[in-house]
Structure 1
Amino acid sequence: MSTTALSASAAPRRRPKDRRKLGDNIAGWSFAGPATLVILGFSLVPMAWALALSFTDSDLMTAGRNVGLDNYRALLEDPVFFQALRNTGLLLVLYIPTSLIAGLLVAVLLNRKVRGIGFYRTCFLVPYIVSATATGLLMGFIFDRDFGLANGLLAKLGLPIQGLLSSPSQAMLVLTLIFFWTRFGFSVVIYLAAIQEISKEVMEAASIDGAGRWSTFRHIIVPSVRPMTVFLAVWGVIDALQFFDLVMTTTKGGPANATVTIVYYVWQLAFTYSTAGYGAAVAYVLFAGTLLLIVAGLLVARRRAATT
């Protein structure tokens, strides 16, 4: 049989496969298409618009004029911007390791079969799912300098009254504590799910070999949940760099800009000071910094995984 005849006889066999593949593609895009349009419409397009806005002096009411890189140069001489960077950096340094370590330890404790364990697990998750606005209003009352429950308790214990949210040196620390309390449950739930996926045979083998609780935790649990640790670290960085709602409902950046974060400063620039172009420049600096932190963290985690 000639080559031409072979190709002619093989062609009809490929056509049904091609049609099936085309049908699968159409079916797939019919489901993914709307979500793709939503992502493009509400994420990528606004990002491109904000990038263009960062090169103007627009106030959101008018188009503004093109100022080139002036907005980015002005950042280098903006003391409030550097104060916001310090506040956000303090939040990151305090929150990320604390949430990871405490989340893992509590997850280990909650992985036991004791009476009422479901209630205890729920107690740690509730602060995460409660409205941030409600949490902020409640915490603003608890940590109020004059009428708050925190200072009332200190007074009953004979301890001096603290400034708390009214003190420039304490306000950011108190907000970090509140932020930890509201986000802590998420780390616990993720770690608890990862621990429950560890093979029971492995845990039993370690027990038979005489491994104690600390050895089991260090050599089995910690390595097993390492992927979740990387995920929670990345998630925590993104979450902390977007810290806004609690600032808005408690201190509004005060006192004396002691609790101004990057996102709150962007909001102030755009909607309070009517300098949306400059605010967009700050937002893109935040985006670039977030991206660098995430990429660096993933590279470090990959290198450690390759060496172990």
Structure 2
Amino acid sequence: MAITFAATPRTRPDVAARPRGRLGRSARRNVTGWAFAGPATLIVVGLSLFPAVWAFFISRTKWNGIAPAVDVGWRNYQRIVQDPDAIAAARHTLVLTLLFVPASILLGMLIAVALNQRIRLIGFYRTCIFVPYVASAAATGILASFVFNPQFGAANEALRRLGLPAQQFLESPGQALLVVCVIALWGEVGFTAVVYLAALQDIPPDLVEAATVDGAGRWRVFRHIILPELRPVTVFVAIWQTITAMQLFDLIYTTTRGGPMNSTQTVVYYIYELAFQTQRLGYGAAVAYLLFAVTMLLTVGVIWYSRRRGSEVF
């Protein structure tokens, strides 16, 4: 009598252990990655979130940094709308933003189009445009103070050679804010130009060639092909430059210090005066939080509008 044994299926050890081994390797990679990035992440988050939360509690107090803080509730925020200095600083910031943001977008786009051409020494030209952006803003402000000096500045010397009257520039209440805007443009337009240049080089050449073959001129190609492709970049640049204009401090500190006659006192410089010159830390923190809220609302509004128009940026 023949005895037969049913063959039982055997599981290969390597197949059964493979998912667990992959999971273990993935966990080890995650632990290793967080071991390197974790301490730095904790430091960055701690230095960002803790001061922001602490500043909110300070904004609800009356405190000079030395004596015990006195809780005043929302009184500091209510005083902002009745403070003529805060209203004037907000008006100066609004004017600076309305001058700076469109000019930086337009100049950056035009410079990027020029730097996108195939000409000799194009790398040198691109470097020259970007150097003012990476230069220290404090050094830029100090240099601009000499250039626009009414007595011996290079700007007035150029006007005299052209037969034009000398100007007061940074010492004139009616001209100082405009001159600050020009200085800020000189330092920031390089960033805008580089961003637009990268976007221009990312446009598919087939679109431009097809439009050219169909008989479209340069202006029509730029208007109907290039501009729509640059729309997401324009939204990003508009948000970035708006935040830059609303938080402009270093140029004002090194050139006018809010003068003359507080004509260049922006919201950020007003916060600096409240907190570090008059020791009104609670009220200064309240103004800073209001500036943060306005900046956040503007950013969200621009992103929402761009998405309604079909420009996905963030």
TM-score (norm 1): 0.91
Q: Is 2:291 aligned against 1:265?
A: no
**Is the CA contact 2:232–2:311 (under 8 Å) kept in the aligned structure 1?**
no
- Partner residue of 1:288? 293
Shift of 1:14: 5.8
> CA, structure 1 residues 200+271, in 2 after alignment: closer, same or farther (shift >3 Å)?
same
Shift of 1:139: 0.6
- Partner residue of 1:120? 125
Mapping of residues 187-266 of structure 1, within 5 Å: 187-266=192-271
**Is the CA contact 2:231–2:311 (under 8 Å) kept in the aligned structure 1?**
no
Q: Distance in 2 between matches of 1:63 and 1:136?
A: 38
Q: Is 2:305 aligned against 1:300?
A: yes
- Partner residue of 1:178? 183
User: Aligned match of 1:90 in 90, 95, 108?
Assistant: 95
What SS class does the counterpart of residue 61 from structure 1 fall into?
coil
Shift of 1:133: 1.1
Shift of 1:215: 1.1
- Partner residue of 1:142? 147
Q: Distance in 2 between matches of 1:31 and 1:223?
A: 42
- Partner residue of 1:162? 167
What SS class does the counterpart of residue 305 from structure 1 fall into?
coil
Q: Distance in 2 between matches of 1:306 and 1:143?
A: 41
How many pairs were matched up?
298
> CA, structure 1 residues 24+251, in 2 after alignment: closer, same or farther (shift >3 Å)?
same
Q: Distance in 2 between matches of 1:149 and 1:80?
A: 33
Q: Is 2:156 aligned against 1:151?
A: yes
Letter in 1 for 2:225: I
- Partner residue of 2:105? 100
Q: Distance in 2 between matches of 1:131 and 1:107?
A: 23
Once the two structures are overlaid, the 10-residue window that deviates more, 110-119 or 62-71, is 62-71
- Partner residue of 1:37? 42
- Partner residue of 2:55? 50
TM-score (norm 2): 0.90
Q: Distance in 2 between matches of 1:17 and 1:121?
A: 48
Q: Distance in 1 between matches of 2:25 and 2:42?
A: 25
Listed one character per residue, the Cα deviations across residues 225-265 of structure 1 (whole Å, up to 9, x for unaligned) are 22211111111111111100010000000011100111111
Letter in 2 for 1:285: L
Q: Distance in 2 between matches of 1:109 and 1:17?
A: 52
Shift of 1:15: 4.2
Shift of 1:30: 2.2
**Is the CA contact 2:104–2:185 (under 8 Å) kept in the aligned structure 1?**
yes
What SS class does the counterpart of residue 288 from structure 2 fall into?
helix
Q: Distance in 2 between matches of 1:304 and 1:135?
A: 38
- Partner residue of 2:9? none
Letter in 1 for 2:136: S
Q: Compare CA radii of gyration and give the structure with the larger one.
A: 2
What SS class does the counterpart of residue 309 from structure 2 fall into?
helix
Shift of 1:144: 1.5
- Partner residue of 2:5? none
Listed one character per residue, the Cα deviations across residues 114-168 of structure 1 (whole Å, up to 9, x for unaligned) are 1111111111111111111111111111111222221222223222222211111
Once the two structures are overlaid, the 10-residue window that deviates more, 264-273 or 201-210, is 201-210
Shift of 1:28: 3.6
Mapping of residues 10-89 of structure 1, within 5 Å: 15-16=20-21, 18-89=23-94
Identity of aligned residues (%): 50
Where in structure 1 are there 5+ consecutive unaligned residues? Answer: 1-9
Shift of 1:13: 7.3
